[in-house]
Structure 1
Amino acid sequence: MADVGRRLERMVRQTQAESRVPALAAALHRADRPLWSCAVGGTGTDAPLTPASRFRIGSVTKTFTAVLVLQARDDGLLDLDDPIGRHLEVPAHGELTVRRLLSHTAGLQREPYGDVWDTLRAPDVGGLIADLARAERVLPSGRRYHYSNLGLSLLGHAVARLRGGTWAEVLADRILTPLGLTGTAVAPGPEAVTGFLVDAYSDHARPEPPADFGAVAPAAQLWSTAGDMARWAAFLADPAALDPRAEVLRAATLDEMRWPATVTDESLWAAGFGLGLILLPQGDRVMHVGHDGAMPGFLAAVYGRRGGAGTPGAMGCAVLGSSGTAAATLELPHRLLEAAVREDPAEIVPWTPGEPAPAAYRSVLGRWWGEGFEHVFFWRDGALRARGADDPAGRPPAVFAPLPDQPDVLRTVSGREVGELLRLTRDGSGAVVRMHWATYRFTRTQETFDGVPVSEP
């Protein structure tokens, strides 16, 4: 790992030098290695740049607000299809749903009413809500992706109201403390790095003015360290590894958040958006999930890696920079994640013999035909599974679980036809001779839809 760490460090140093970033911090989290980190440059203050230095993470904040919303849903406090007006008293746009606001498909204008980027003065919660009457619906709800800081802010305040506290209080109590994110806060603190605008035509770097974003906090307020954000990215990718008792969020709920709700560009399907999360396909069934952030003087990119050969558990990377224009900051975590897996892949776990399939399902195992195509049913890791005979090796199989007290009726719990039933039909000896999956008939030989073996004349 030492040689790999040096190569990763060189990538960080090269980015800092070529993109002229006053301070650049990166960290890589994975379950099978110690935390790796690297920081290059200066803070712009009298304090040295250290792993404890805090950068503004901008819209990465939205991922925390999104988790708070899904926590509230899991606790029965709201439904994703509820109108926001059910949980927050608003003078307009109350019919927009929680789901649409989370996925940036509500059509609400991007920013709160007024010229907040000119004044750098954000409204308080009362003002934000009162000014909704002057905010526009710039697109029909559900028409397409349209990013909205205003929408995510409303969700943060709705959750705070449901929990009986402020957004900052609820965030600390329900996410930061349970996950041990001690370097993450709504205020910069003494460890804060100065954010800069670097002159395009000289090496001069001018500090950007500090700004507290008031009621827009749930969309953009947080400060954090690279180490904290790498851990957060790992949580977004593999929550069971960092939160095994699901104190913060169930793994199945994060699966739901990672499902793409929309593409971000109708002509180039290179990125998607789930429930508060950016989804970036990397090829070979690898997905990077997380968020970018931008505030005056700062850029941040925080992503976890899922899928693909060699990807270890709980893998996440964060890159935080103190230049508001160094776009390479946003590309670097993806390069670091790819390089770490390529040069130091997860160890290959040896195969060991397991228990045989239960007697009730042994006659299911093997090759079956459905819709003219061949499928293989097999038992592995305590569950019945199936895949197309010609499926590529990396495609996950369908996984089945029997219904309570109905061993011959199984629910597809993941993979192809998830949610659909698999029904088994047995002969007099108890052997399974026919199956119906999502109502399609499966037989041991290839048959036409009216049940005639294809080999017959």
Structure 2
Amino acid sequence: MTDVDRRLARMTREVQATARVPALAAALHRADRPLWSCAVGGTGNDTPLDADTRFRIGSVTKSLTAVLVLQCRDDGLLELDDPIGRHLDVPEHGDLTVARLLSHTAGLQREPHGDVWDNLDVPGLDRLLAELTRVERVLPSGRRFHYSNLGLSLLGHAVGRLRGGTWAEVLAEKILAPLGLSGTGVEPGPRAATGFLVDAYSDEARPEPATDFGAVAPATQVWSTAGDMARWAAFLADPASVDPDAAVLRPETLDEMRWPRTVTDETSWGAGFGLGLIVLPQGERVVHVGHDGAMPGFLAAVYGRRGGAGTPKAMGCAVLASSGTAAAIGELPHRLLATAVADDPADIPAWSPGEPTPAAYRGLLGRWWSEGFEFVFSWHDGALRARGADSPAGAPPAVFTPLADRPDVLRTISGREVGELLRLTRDESGTVIRMHWATYRLTRRQETFDRYDFRA
């Protein structure tokens, strides 16, 4: 065990002890190191607590369902702007769009009709759909963030209908098998921990009842191991490394899912919500992406790390707990990720010379002005790039690719002005003398909008 492993284990053991968690399992996945894991406590039954112990992950299930929805989009089975009623026979609220349901901006009430968290009378699918006539739209669609288990449940069942099976069958076929998540499923299995409510004023831990959440399963039902969920978190952060053949989802689609569609608090912008994913800024251009989960007797937090100096490829962390009262669980994966990067950063690969800049673009490299702002154009990793001359070192560059039939017109494929065109203008000798990026003129010297060059 390395010094870093011991530090991570001590942090985990400290949370288990101070938050009084009967069973706590944590795992950290990264492409450049073996899987790290730590399990502390006992299952509360006659099975040992180890790497194969399953915990209920609650709303982390939503991240799985969201990926299933985007798979359907990429396969041409739906569009994000489609109304849910186009893909699921609903008696009410059929105009709410897939994208708004995914991002919790549809305005739909949080739970199915009835007091499901009081009496645990969870409806089956037929009843869930029939009772939509008694469900409120508590906010105008698109107004703001409002979390809804019901909304994600409807999307999960739509996926099942589109694929010709149940949500659980599609989950197993389209995500669990391709990613090798063999410890994950909709049933607890024979190696599951018991969930507990730990008394606030004594050391008594009372077992919570076993619950099946019926038609709300696409939002809440999945059980998993810490190792599987750490791999899932790594996939959400860096799909190209975890799933290089894009058997589950294209990296570009995960980029789309991670883009924040809304903030969860209008005054404190500490968390965003993308398409089924929570995005948490960590400072210095680092974000953690994933989801939290809570069910009777269980808490879970599953996040991958993106960006920042020292972050390795495919970095994800999961913390699963058999207590419904340990709030510290939510912070632990973020602390473990930060500590692992700070104390054991990714190795720095040696630089080596690359291919020369193509002759057509060699003459435009260097500094250009657009109004009062200076940009530096360069050629790296086989592509033309641009950065603001004063941009922070960690800010990503704009990256361009030429149109297939027009080499002097390039598309911005990432970074600043993504999607916009860069047009090159040459003189009689073929030298690039002017460029237009998103229609803004770039010149070698500063010019006003009437093209007066005061340095001439």
- The reply to whether TM is greater than 0.5 is yes
What is the deviation of 1:454? 2.6
Amino acid in the other structure paired with 1:30:
R
* Distance in structure 2 (CA, Å) of the matches to 1:47 and 1:210: 17
Amino acid in the other structure paired with 1:122:
V
- Partner residue of 1:131? 131
What is the deviation of 1:455? 2.4
- Partner residue of 1:365? 365
Amino acid in the other structure paired with 1:441:
R
- Partner residue of 2:119? 119
Q: Does 1:346 align with 2:385?
A: no
Amino acid in the other structure paired with 2:273:
F
Q: Does 1:68 align with 2:29?
A: no
- Partner residue of 1:449? 449
What is the deviation of 1:115? 0.9
- Partner residue of 2:171? 171
What is the deviation of 1:81? 0.1
Q: Deviations for 1:175-229, whole angstroms, at most 9, x for unmatched residues?
A: 0000000000100011110000000000000001110000000000000000000
Amino acid in the other structure paired with 2:19:
S
Local SS of the residue matching 2:235? helix
Q: Give the fraction of aligned pairs with identical amino acids, expressed as a percent.
A: 79
- Partner residue of 1:222? 222
- Tell me how large the CA RMSD over aligned residues is: 0.6
- Partner residue of 2:39? 39
**Equivalent residues in 2 for 1:236-251, closer than 5 Å:** 236-251=236-251
Local SS of the residue matching 1:416? coil
* Distance in structure 2 (CA, Å) of the matches to 1:455 and 1:409: 28
Q: Deviations for 1:280-314, whole angstroms, at most 9, x for unmatched residues?
A: 00000000000000000000000000000000000
- Partner residue of 2:203? 203
**Equivalent residues in 2 for 1:26-425, closer than 5 Å:** 26-425=26-425
* Distance in structure 1 (CA, Å) of the matches to 2:163 and 2:432: 52
* Distance in structure 2 (CA, Å) of the matches to 1:150 and 1:95: 15
Q: Deviations for 1:88-146, whole angstroms, at most 9, x for unmatched residues?
A: 01000000000000000000000000111112121111011000000000000000000
1:121·1:212 contact (CA, 8 Å) conserved in 2? no
Gap regions ≥5 residues in structure 1 = none
Q: Deviations for 1:317-337, whole angstroms, at most 9, x for unmatched residues?
A: 000000101000111000000
What is the deviation of 1:355? 1.2
* Distance in structure 2 (CA, Å) of the matches to 1:104 and 1:374: 40
* Distance in structure 2 (CA, Å) of the matches to 1:415 and 1:371: 20
What is the deviation of 1:403? 0.5
Gap regions ≥5 residues in structure 2 = none
Local SS of the residue matching 2:331? helix
* Distance in structure 2 (CA, Å) of the matches to 1:371 and 1:248: 45
* Distance in structure 2 (CA, Å) of the matches to 1:7 and 1:216: 39
Q: Deviations for 1:431-455, whole angstroms, at most 9, x for unmatched residues?
A: 1110000000000011111111132
What is the deviation of 1:232? 0.1
Amino acid in the other structure paired with 1:186:
V
- Partner residue of 1:16? 16
* Distance in structure 2 (CA, Å) of the matches to 1:452 and 1:377: 23
Q: Deviations for 1:219-275, whole angstroms, at most 9, x for unmatched residues?
A: 000000000000000000000111111110000000000000000000100000000
Amino acid in the other structure paired with 2:24:
L
Local SS of the residue matching 2:122? coil
Normalised by the size of structure 2, how large is the TM-score? 0.99
1:260·1:274 contact (CA, 8 Å) conserved in 2? yes
* Distance in structure 2 (CA, Å) of the matches to 1:455 and 1:249: 52
Local SS of the residue matching 2:363? helix
* Distance in structure 2 (CA, Å) of the matches to 1:94 and 1:70: 19
What is the deviation of 1:47? 1.0
Amino acid in the other structure paired with 1:374:
E
Local SS of the residue matching 2:317? strand
1:121·1:211 contact (CA, 8 Å) conserved in 2? no
